[in-house]
Amino acid sequence: MLARRSAICLENSIGLTKLYSAMNEGAYIDLKALHRKLDEAIADRYSWPRSIAQDDKLLVAGLTDLNRQIINGERDYKPFED
């Protein structure tokens, strides 16, 4: 995903804001598909329903809650352990 995003920015001499604005308007559907795949992997990793990956607000809310739990010591933070 990062390689594709960088390539688009370099090829079009644009920054991330213009890239994501264009993507939200229907451009770069391949990049959008890569983002969706990442969102689904995140939902799978935390045993959340896959439907969360289809809803940006729910995904952000879940990640925000997860971050709060880690900060408050309610959940261990071990990003490189399974």
Give residue 33's pLDDT.
94
pLDDT over threshold 80, residue 82: no
**If you average pLDDT over residues 4-12, what whole number do you get?**
95
Cα–Cα distance for residue pair 36/17, rounded to 1 Å: 18
pTM: 0.74
Q: Which amino acid is at 78?
A: K
pLDDT over threshold 70, residue 16: yes
Residue 74 is classified by DSSP as S
pLDDT tens figures, 21-80: 999 999 999 999 999 999 999 889 888 898 888 898 998 999 999 999 999 999 988 877
Cα–Cα distance for residue pair 13/56, rounded to 1 Å: 27
